Structure 1
């Protein structure tokens, strides 16, 4: 069964209250990401203290931890009752219906190697749906944020690409850092490549989804992704007019498709049939 995260109609008063909350949450998400960005900038030039997590390719640094602490501190100050799920420190309980999902430094390997494709990404989740998100790219000095009430960016007017045929599409495919899943990710990429114009991969899901929300990529596809890798970009891309799907493959894997609605619709049967 396809899960298509589109919104059902609701009453006017409920919709207004939801929009007011979404607007407020978007501002908080963007400011929380800014707190993480400042922490990363302060960490530049200091010892990175690089270590590994689930695999030798899964890096974490002192900057990741500093950014996460800064984001959590800001969220606790602004919305003390909300729950938080953070990549490095895990679950922080709350009593409100809102849960924040944090990737304090998405693209850590790029950061360690001096590449600019890394981001600070924050999303708010309600009823298991990402209602708003914000992504900041410190090396580029830009940002994007959006939710149910709209989308904003540091430059231009964000929006997904124009409708196009799949063989004209430029896509990204997320590659797992886990050894047991990495081959499957490359197999999915190999199956999709003959159907599209080409692919690009930055090494940061948030940066790829930033590109989807600004029309520089037509779609992003990944398997079995973690909430902090997909949540902020999911909310932003949807606010930019994208279609966001979570679907099971024939092999029982969870696949995520985000992008230009016409391209996502054409990718759907190819991804569903992936048997890796």
Structure 2
């Protein structure tokens, strides 16, 4: 993990976020049982939670409670604390749970800190990839301590674009139609199964763009800041911020074409 940099109070928040993500990542990497199974489902029978999601969220919330007892908290697996400091933590203990369940590498611990409603620190720690992205508001984005920038100067027809799919069958069908229409207009399309990592891959120039419908704040809070601090643009439907209706992140050249095209193709419907 990298050493935190930045002015107070961001330096302390980054230090806490990095440590929380590292501790959870160690637990998830080293403590994964060979017979890991599904502990619960959420929006559909294929939208799963494992016992390790629950253990990792408990570890993170416990650590944050010790280090920052006055802060608020929002976690994917149900953690919710109002707080009174102006800081709120947004955490996803495993972004890419199905990948983790199957032993694939594309999963990450996502930890973001908001100050008075604005995301100021983001950490996406991917133990199986052996890398960590982080960003501090106004200070750029880094992967393992090295500054990263999004890939510049790409036209849409040469763009490598990632997407994700909802776990509700009817929505997945509509999303498939968008992919069918988009595929002939781009270089190619990828699907990793982790919104946080897709956003970091846009930041690092491994993707030219990414879009998805149905994401939650814990899916993108950290990765959105990392992408923006790497020079990417992010948003929702034209004129709106990222949200459940649509999340788009891309280099400026691709974003200016991709977002209106997705609106035309109905990516925010379904």
Please indicate the TM-score interval, normalised by the length of the shorter structure: 0.7 to 0.9
Of residues 16, 19, 29, the one that matches 1:41 is 29
SS at match of 1:237: helix
Of residues 259, 262, 271, the one that matches 2:250 is 259
| 1:172-221 CA-partner distances (Å, limit 9, x unpaired) | 11211122321222222223222211111111111211211111001111
In the alignment, structure 2 segments of 5+ residues that lack a partner are: 1-5
Contact 2:164 2:192 in 1 (8 A): no
Contact 1:28 1:78 in 2 (8 A): yes
Q: Paired residue for 1:28?
A: 16
Q: Find the aligned partners of 1:23 and 1:263 in 2 and give their Cα distance.
A: 32
Task: Out of 261-270 and 153-162, give the one that drifted further.
Answer: 153-162
Q: Paired residue for 2:50?
A: 61
Deviation at 1:123, TM superposition (A): 0.9
Q: Find the aligned partners of 1:94 and 1:46 in 2 and give their Cα distance.
A: 38
TM-score normalised according to structure 1 size: 0.86
* 2:221 is the alignment partner of 1:231: yes
Higher relative CO (Cα under 8 Å, sequence separation at least 6) belongs to: 1
| 1:135-185 CA-partner distances (Å, limit 9, x unpaired) | 111112110100212322216431111221111100111211122321222
Alignment of 1:126-275 (within 5 A): 126-148=115-137, 149-154=139-144, 156-247=146-237, 254-275=245-266
In the alignment, structure 1 segments of 5+ residues that lack a partner are: 1-17
* 2:91 is the alignment partner of 1:102: yes
Q: Find the aligned partners of 1:217 and 1:54 in 2 and give their Cα distance.
A: 28
Q: Paired residue for 1:93?
A: 82
Contact 2:238 2:259 in 1 (8 A): no
Q: How many aligned residue pairs are there?
A: 256
Q: Structure 1 residues 248, 242: CA separation in 2 closer, same or farther (over 3 Å shift)?
A: closer
TM-score normalised according to structure 2 size: 0.88
